[in-house]
Chains A and B, each alone.
Chain A
Amino acid sequence: MLIPKNNANLMRTKILIKLAESYLTDKFADADRIPLELRPKETQPSRCCVYKDRAVLKYRCMAGLGHCPEEETDELKTLREYGNEALDRRQAPKNKLSVIDIACSACIKSQYVITDVCRGCFAQPCRLNCPKEAISIVNGRARIDPDKCVNCGKCFEVCPYHSVVKIPVPCEEACPVGAITKDEFGKEHIDTEKCISCGKCLASCPFGAIVERSQMIDVMREIKETDKKVVAMLAPAVLGQFPGSVNSLVCALKKFGFSDVMEVAVGADITTQKEAAEFIERMEEGAKFMTTSCCPAYYRAAQVHIPEIKPYVSDTKTPMYYTAELVKKSDPACIAVFVGPCLAKRAEAEYDPNVDYVLTFEELGAMLVASGINVDECAEEPFGLVSHKEGRQFPVTGGVAGAVASLVGDKVEIRPEKIDGLTKENIKLLKRYAAKGSENNMLEVMCCEGGCVSGPGCIALSKKAARAVDSYAATGEPLTFETKIGEK
């Protein structure tokens, strides 16, 4: 998808930068000016007036500080207080996507509307093909009764004049698991039981009404206010996210205060080895197929929404898991921070005792901008543990299956298939595969279309990032079953 950055996303980046700056300069003393600075009086309001814009910005700032806007009890509580509360907490805020109700524009529910283009024709295919008799002719034009309409889209398909338009609700359309729905007032709500934390709703809402709790402040506090060693674990999708070499980024992060920087591609190497071994074993036991398990949004979707596929999901842990295990093995007292493109990793981290915090590339970028660090001007510093070609290629669709296939070789027959993007259609496809089998036996499932390089926490364009990933992978040594990982 090549959609130039939109205002809602751009504003989120600005908010994070402002918050990081506010923390670094005076620990939120002036944080309540942020909405005013971002929406000065003289600017053109994007909602009804600048005051509403600012009110929404305040809620978005709350989320940036790790608070959930839905939990607000006192509207007069200042951002400064919220900031201080963030500094007082000792546990990472729980992962949660939520809707800012005053920002939600309550997009109209009925999804099909007949426009004035309708000629009131004699054939009336819309009326005759409607399975619910929801269409009647009023004043010479077809009209849909919203109470009867089930949004099947038949009328849309058959109208010879293209007079039927589909008005989508972007967040509901984007959510692959039906976790976001309207309340009686038309505002959207997220069902946390169903939510797989993929972030598709957040990326798709044109009103910037969906937010998730950031852990950026918590990480900065650990770095600046404690003596603990804070280790950054960079997801393999980091390539291309910050211009300059990935080795300069190591130095940039140390300048910020991280004590060490690890490549999660190292953990991805371990995942590759274990998953390849598991694949061989499962195939020898006669399994129909196996699916990958490293995408946390898919993993959760399999648990909650596609239970029939559970027996086929690999039991191998994710690259983040193995990397954090290595980090904690060498220093159990350190703070391990995963930095990646993914919101669902926050949910995964809650079940992983070795991972303390999760940041997105966007949040890390905001921290670097606020402290004036330019990655490109930093010296190059090597990683302590160097990753291999296979681990490096994980973040682009096809990369995980490709890595596993290269290790499996001709030990057993492997026929990889990419499930590129966890859409409603692909969930149906997976259900069908679980029931009837697939002609392929290695299914790689990526929730984000194109792979992790298209994740909601990315900065760079996915196309450019994918190129950077490919050329980095090309410089890596090939991995084998015998390669010892975790030894310097």
Chain B
Amino acid sequence: MEKIKVRICVGTSCFVMGAAQIQSLEFNAPADIADSIEIIEERCMNLCKDIKVKYNRGPFVFVNDRLIEEASYEKVINAIREEIKKSCEK
């Protein structure tokens, strides 16, 4: 199975707002997803600049093509699980 790409924005805004903590996926991802993800550090994708309230929707994380706003460790893990489920159903 192809790995699920987890792209974590590490622009200053996203990093300070909590992306730094989502990086703990690299070290202690739950056993059921640990082997099916590939973690990529993404430079600022300018998503914070598209939005009216500039940084309020960060940190941004992509799980495959799905954008997660105000991402948290929990939100990202849930999205990964959904992606795994989707690819199993295919």
**Chain A residues close to B by CB (< 8 Å):** 2-5, 10, 13-14, 17, 242-244, 252, 362, 365-366, 368-369, 372-377, 459-461, 463-464
Q: Are B44 and A460 interface neighbours, CB within 8 A?
A: no
Chain B contacts for A3, CB-based, 8 A? 24
In the docked arrangement, what's the CA distance between A17 and B18, Å? 12
Chain A contacts for B17, CB-based, 8 A? 10, 13-14, 17, 369
Q: Are B20 and A460 interface neighbours, CB within 8 A?
A: yes
Q: Are A376 and B20 interface neighbours, CB within 8 A?
A: no
Q: Which residue of A lies closest to B76 (CB)?
A: A4
Checking A4, A5, A14, A375 against B12 with a beta-carbon cut-off of 8 angstroms, the contacting residue is A375
Given A5-B22, A460-B15, A461-B21, 19 other A-B residues pairs in contact with their CB atoms under 8 A:
A4-B22, A5-B21, A13-B18, A17-B16, A17-B17, A243-B15, A252-B12, A365-B12, A369-B12, A372-B13, A374-B44, A376-B10, A376-B44, A377-B44, A459-B16, A460-B20, A460-B23, A461-B27, A463-B27
Contacts A243-B11, A461-B24; is A4 near B16 (CB within 8 Å)?
A: no
Checking A4, A365, A374 against B21 with a beta-carbon cut-off of 8 angstroms, the contacting residue is A4
Checking B16, B24, B28 against A362 with a beta-carbon cut-off of 8 angstroms, the contacting residue is B16
Q: Are A369 and B24 interface neighbours, CB within 8 A?
A: no
The verdict on B66 contacting chain A, using a C-beta distance below 8 Å, is: no
Q: Which residue of B lies closest to A4 (CB)?
A: B73
Q: Which residue of A lies closest to B22 (CB)?
A: A4
Q: Are A2 and B11 interface neighbours, CB within 8 A?
A: no
Checking B16, B23, B41, B44 against A461 with a beta-carbon cut-off of 8 angstroms, the contacting residue is B23
Q: Are B27 and A369 interface neighbours, CB within 8 A?
A: no
Checking A4, A10, A373 against B24 with a beta-carbon cut-off of 8 angstroms, the contacting residue is A4
Contacts A369-B55, A374-B44; is A5 near B73 (CB within 8 Å)?
A: yes
In the docked arrangement, what's the CA distance between A376 and B24, Å? 21
The verdict on B3 contacting chain A, using a C-beta distance below 8 Å, is: no
Chain A contacts for B43, CB-based, 8 A? 243, 376
Determine which residue in B12, B41, B73 has the highest number of CB atoms from chain A within 10 A of its CB, and name it: B12
Count class of interface residues, chain B: 20 to 34
The verdict on B81 contacting chain A, using a C-beta distance below 8 Å, is: no
Q: Which residue of A lies closest to B73 (CB)?
A: A4
Chain A contacts for B54, CB-based, 8 A? 372
In the docked arrangement, what's the CA distance between A188 and B55, Å? 35
Q: How many A-B residue pairs have CB under 8 A?
A: 78
Chain B contacts for A369, CB-based, 8 A? 12-13, 16-17, 55
In the docked arrangement, what's the CA distance between A461 and B73, Å? 13
Q: Which residue of A lies closest to B58 (CB)?
A: A369
| Binary CB contact string for chain B from 30 to 52 against chain A (1 if under 8 A, 0 otherwise) | 00000000000101100000000
- A-B CB contact pairs (8 Å), 26 listed: A3-B24, A4-B74, A5-B20, A5-B72, A10-B17, A13-B16, A13-B17, A13-B18, A17-B16, A17-B17, A242-B15, A243-B11, A243-B15, A365-B12, A365-B15, A369-B13, A369-B55, A374-B44, A376-B11, A377-B44, A459-B16, A461-B21, A461-B23, A463-B27, A464-B20, A464-B26
Chain A contacts for B73, CB-based, 8 A? 4-5
B5 to A: closest C-beta gap in Å: 18
Q: Are B21 and A243 interface neighbours, CB within 8 A?
A: no
Chain A contacts for B13, CB-based, 8 A? 369, 372, 374
Q: Which residue of A lies closest to B13 (CB)?
A: A369
In the docked arrangement, what's the CA distance between A17 and B55, Å? 10
A306 to B: closest C-beta gap in Å: 34
Q: Which residue of A lies closest to B41 (CB)?
A: A243
A482 to B: closest C-beta gap in Å: 39
The 9 closest A-B pairs by CB, nearest first: A5-B21, A4-B73, A365-B16, A243-B10, A374-B12, A369-B13, A460-B20, A375-B12, A2-B24
Chain B contacts for A366, CB-based, 8 A? 16
Q: Which residue of A lies closest to B28 (CB)?
A: A2
Checking A17, A374, A460 against B11 with a beta-carbon cut-off of 8 angstroms, the contacting residue is A374
Q: Which residue of A lies closest to B54 (CB)?
A: A372
A79 to B: closest C-beta gap in Å: 19
Determine which residue in A4, A459, A464 has the highest number of CB atoms from chain B within 10 A of its CB, and name it: A4
Q: Which residue of B lies closest to A242 (CB)?
A: B12
Chain B contacts for A374, CB-based, 8 A? 11-13, 44
